[in-house]
Amino acid sequence: MKDGEFLLFAWWGYSGNKGNPTENNLYKDAESALKWIEKNTYLQKSDLVIYGESLSTGVAVELDTRYLFKLIVLEAPFTSISDIAQKKYKIYPVKFFVLDKFDNYKKIIKVFSPLLIISGMKDEVIPHSHSVKLFTKANDPKDCLFIGEAMHNNLYDFNIDKKVINFNS
């Protein structure tokens, strides 16, 4: 891998992969990818940009509690899966029954890599308020890109690639 190259992989239980996409299994997938990069390239963790989108923001945050990266980007992040579940099923105590917590809000204070949070203010899947809470609690250096008209799956329609590419460069 050379500068400008990237590695994309599919999680357990996605894209035809066998297995269950549990919180711990997704962490194992990410650790495997990091090991592969370090074994097969000249890159170190401090050279890498970790990009998490939606569910994978939980994995990105967890990785950054373990290692220091060049940059971490969280696109449409959530505070925790428990918070998402509780909002969806307001009258039931579902947050107590969620097995895979992905508690980004608890962990974000342990993130020390430069951080960029991107969110659509009209996100219909993960409320924009989750991004605001994470950004407020996060350590510096940090930046955000909150797009008024964007939803969960159309952020790149608003040219966020330019912000991502130019952040921390």
| Least confident residue range of 12-26, 70-84, 92-106 | 12-26
DSSP one-letter string for the chain: --TT-------TTSTT--S---HHHHHHHHHHHHHHHHHHSS--GGGPEEEEETTHHHHHHHHHHH---SEEEEES--S-HHHHHHHHTTTS-GGGT-S----HHHHGGG--S-EEEEEETT-SSS-HHHHHHHHHHSPSSEEEEEETT--SS-GGGGTHHHHHHHTT-
Asked whether the predicted pLDDT for residue 1 surpasses 50, the reply is no
Q: Give the pLDDT score at 151.
A: 96
What is the overall mean pLDDT for the chain?
90
Same-domain status, 55 and 31 = no
Q: Are residues 60 and 32 in the same domain?
A: no
The structural domain count of the chain equals: 2
Indicate the pTM of the whole model: 0.91
Residue 19 belongs to what domain range? Answer: 12-41
Stretch 84-111: mean pLDDT: 91
Residue 58 lies in a domain: yes
Two structure tokens written together for 161: 């690639």
| Domain assignment of residue 20, yes or no | yes
> Are 102 and 61 found together in one domain?
yes
Residue type, 78: F
Domain identity same for 123 and 144: yes
